Amino acid sequence: MKEQFQEPAYYRVAKDLKKDIEKGNLKPGDAIPSEAQLSRQYNVSRMTVRQGLSQLANIGYIKTVQGKGNFVARPSVEKLVLNLSEENLFNASDKISIKLLGVEVIKAGTQESRKLALDVSTKIIKVARLLSTREGPVAIDTRCLPYLKGKPILEKEIGYAAFPEVINHYSEILSIRNELSISPTLLSEAEANQLKAEKHLPALCLEQVLFAYNGTPLGWSKMICRGDRYTLQADSYPHSREL
């Protein structure tokens, strides 16, 4: 007979309170028993109680107010999390295949230079890709990043990894912020051709700009997704209501 796993004391405190909150015994705004009280009730030290409470705070179940107490938090369901990792972009069950449409080093036009805060005519690398599932082409992807002299361009890396990965590998600077804009458009003639769709099909335009710690833009990416084959999904945050 295997020994039972012994759950930590702080975990029991957190779990019990979590259940009370989910059952509605404790409603948003309600005060939680004081730390001293819980400490006596569970016969554990105050630090242990605090560890349990900090777990609940981390998953957004309670808010702590100095000098007053711990209170049940109102779930904030208006913030949503969107996962743009390449595996997650499309249905996980559907493998994506990627086709490189082109890799080139060119002078930045006004569009790219503005996005990347570069002078016009600075050299940049531009990568175009076609993403498909079994159903067929789904999205066209264009990526721009400043060209670094003497740095080899590995098409494999630059074409077949998620955009933030590309930035990290190529520029060797950690990207720390990602700004995304989502807007609707119609497929242009060129886009429609590449996506094997009719012109003027509704499409999603996802534009990303990645920044370094110091605020420097490191890269810019634009993805055009066929509206009939792709829907963006987001889920309320915090995702994990687990301890």
User: In the complex, what is the shortest distance from the CB of residue 43 to a second copy, in angstroms, rounded to a whole number?
Assistant: 20
54 near a second copy (CB under 8 A): yes
DSSP 57: H
Is 113 one of the binding residues for DNA (CB under 7 A)? no
Query: Residue 184 interacts with a second copy (CB under 8 A)?
Result: yes
From residue 141 to residue 170, what is the string marking binding to a second copy with x (rule CB under 8 A)? ---------------------x-x---x--
List of residues 6+ apart from 53 with CB closer than 8 A: 13, 14, 17, 32, 35, 62, 64, 70
> Is position 222 an interface residue for DNA (rule: CB under 7 A)?
no
Rounded Cα distance between 115 and 110, Å, is 9
Q: By the 8 A CB rule, do 227 and 202 touch?
A: yes
Q: Binding-site residue total for a second copy (CB under 8 A)?
A: 48
Closest contact distance (angstroms) between CB of 72 and DNA is: 12
177 binds a second copy (CB under 8 A): yes
**CB nearer DNA, residue 53 or residue 116:** 53
Q: In this structure, what token pair is assigned to residue 107? A: 């002078």
Ramachandran region, residue 69 (left: φ > 0; alpha: ψ -120 to 50; beta: rest):
left
User: Based on CB atoms, which residue is closest to DNA, 34 or 91?
Assistant: 34
